[in-house]
A and B are shown apart, each in its own frame.
Chain A
Amino acid sequence: MPILPPRWRIFLITLGIIALPIVIGLVWILLTALFDRVHGLIPQAGLGRENWRFLWQGSLSGRPTIWVALLNSLLFSATVALIEVLVSAMAAYAIARMRFPLRRAYLGFALMLHAFPAISLIIAIFFILRLLGLFDTLIGVILVKASLELPLGIWLMKGFFDNLSWEMEMAALVDGASRWTVFWRIALPLVRPGILALGTFALLSAWGEFILPFTLIVSGRSWTLALYLQSFTSEAFVDFGLMAAVGLFYALPVILFFLLGQRYLLNIYSGGVKG
């Protein structure tokens, strides 16, 4: 371990102080979930599994089981990420490579949509879903979430496609490829870092999404984990131990995801992935 210069030490201490509330929160959630009774940060009873009863007791007072919520969350995140990556890549390729009327207007509009606080549209979205019969369905929320994230995805992917050599695509056309083949077999493999980055963003963003499912889903069978967790706050007696355990359970996949893919993710976030 190299010795840091004093300036760095001050910097790190400052960062540590800023991070302290979050660290305390994490310690609290860990202790509260693992011990049967905790006062502040001090356990009052031994380690227990009472807080984790949602895992094997099935339905808790009329809720769906955690497994239904988990499945819904997985389905929701995966589908949103898939739609977002696929549609963004195709739209971005068209914008980067083809000339069509209103192309610039479209780009500007997408940027504006990205900056727009989407939540202010929630009433309109509610009515549209009602009209389409997609209210209170997972598919409905998936479509809404994916479309709200598309502007960012399109802009991100456009940047990647803009960096590809046009000569290379011309070469593929002369070699006998159609535009479609050029897209799938030449352009898409070369923007793999972009696809992985966008896919990761989409996955994480959808996994943590709360307000859209909260507004657009009512029935327990379509609950995601966020809704499952939230449901415990509306009880007369709030069981903090149980909530902490559910919270940990909810965060676990994300933590695993980062632990396993850390090196790769860091690469993506620093934008330095080489094909």
Chain B
Amino acid sequence: MRGVTVRLEGLVKHFGKVQALKTLDLEMKPGEMVAFLGPSGCGKTTTLLLIAGIYRATAGEIHFDDKRIDHLHPRDRDVGMVFQSYALYPHLNLFENIAFPLRLKRRPNREIREKVEQTAELLGITEQLHRRPAMVSGGQQQRAALARALVKEPQLLLLDEPLSNLDALIRLSARGEIRRLQQELGITSILVTHDQAEALAMSNRVTVFSVGEVQQFATPAELYARPANTFVAGFVGFPPMNLLEGSFNGDFQAGELKIAVPEGHPGGPGFLGIRPEDVRLDGEVPAQVLLVEPLGKDALLTFEARGALLKALVPQEGHPAPGETLTIGFPRERIHLFDSQGKRLPN
């Protein structure tokens, strides 16, 4: 199989008066796995269905390599897709489900049998091929859906929340398996998910969506280290980043709380963010512990520091008790600054 370059240019989708997708520009490298991450209703599945050809774009272009494909029928786009509900055909057994795309292409029976069996083996569902979807487990249904998407050797694989209907345990192993398979086949893939752990773990790059707009398109490391705006800052990373609203005047001032920040910001109202894991317990700002949430290896503390509520992640061992007063600190190099619109300020 080969991966294709995917280029989306000014893609727009309206449903009546509702703007499901504002303007989307995106370029994916061959063989790359890109995650579309965002809360529900943010336009990520809409984008997937535009690429698959189920929806027609209101405006904009879709290119695979150098070929424009947005006017083509889904069958001529050479795309495989796994749906959230798996969308297997309940009246056909797994073999016929997987064979369906090949039957539509009127391939000879021998070739169909060969390819279906080969794909089923790749996914470990050979034993279940004669069963109907309702007779196999959720994990096997998910593999069958993946097999059906892969059997025609598409140039692009679309995954719409493929793991969200699985048990937590299987989900973790399926996550690794899909990623391994995708890398092995070298197929360009898009993963739609609302689960940031899934997006960060499985993809080369992540597109963060919110209300029909792309907030940031970057590698998982970059998303974490340099979130482009307050939405990404609050959405990516767990526990979520502390975000304080205030104003810059030399330092950053949020109510009574004053925090020293790097120089070179324009001044005026804005936001300051710091991840709970970056808050230090040996600083100079007095803070009272309100709540301790043990998380296993770490504990999550909630502080009140001069009227502001903050969270900090500290080692479980020897963590402070509720009611204790500490002095906390905000390392300059770990602080994220955003302007009044929520856009990241250079620092």
Contact = CB atoms under 8 A, between A and B. Distances in A.
Interface of A: 165, 167-168, 170-178, 181, 186, 189-190, 275
A167 B53 contact: no
B342 interface: no
Interface in B119-157: 145, 148, 152
B84 A167 contact: yes
Nearest to B54: A170
Nearest to A188: B91
A176 B87 contact: no
Given A175-B104, A177-B75, A181-B104, A170 B89 contact: no
Contacts of A181: 104
A176 B91 contact: no
A168 B89 contact: yes
A173 B91 contact: no
A186 B89 contact: yes
The residue among A170, A174, A177, A186 with the most chain B CB atoms within 10 A of its own CB is A174
Interface in B210-258: none
Given A165-B85, A167-B84, A167-B85, A173 B90 contact: no
5 contacts: A168-B88, A171-B87, A172-B100, A174-B54, A174-B81
A172 B75 contact: no
The residue among A165, A167, A175, A177 with the most chain B CB atoms within 10 A of its own CB is A175
B87 A167 contact: yes
Given A172-B100, A174-B80, 8 more contacts: A168-B85, A171-B81, A171-B83, A171-B88, A173-B74, A174-B158, A176-B101, A181-B104
Contacts of A171: 81, 83, 87-89, 145, 148
Interface residues of B, number: 26
Interface of B: 49, 52-54, 73-75, 79-81, 83-85, 87-91, 100-101, 104-105, 145, 148, 152, 158
A89 to B, nearest CB: 16
B154 to A, nearest CB: 9
A163 to B, nearest CB: 12
A275 B101 CA distance: 22
A230 B84 CA distance: 60
A172 B88 CA distance: 9
Given A174-B81, A175-B148, A176-B101, A190 B54 contact: no
Give the 9 A-B residue pairs with the shortest CB-CB distance, closest first.
A176-B75, A171-B87, A175-B101, A167-B87, A168-B87, A176-B104, A174-B81, A167-B83, A173-B74
Contacts of A172: 89, 100
Contacts of B91: 189-190, 275
A171 B90 CA distance: 13
A177 B79 CA distance: 13
B89 A176 contact: no
Contacts of A178: 73, 75
Contacts of B49: 170
A2 B74 CA distance: 60
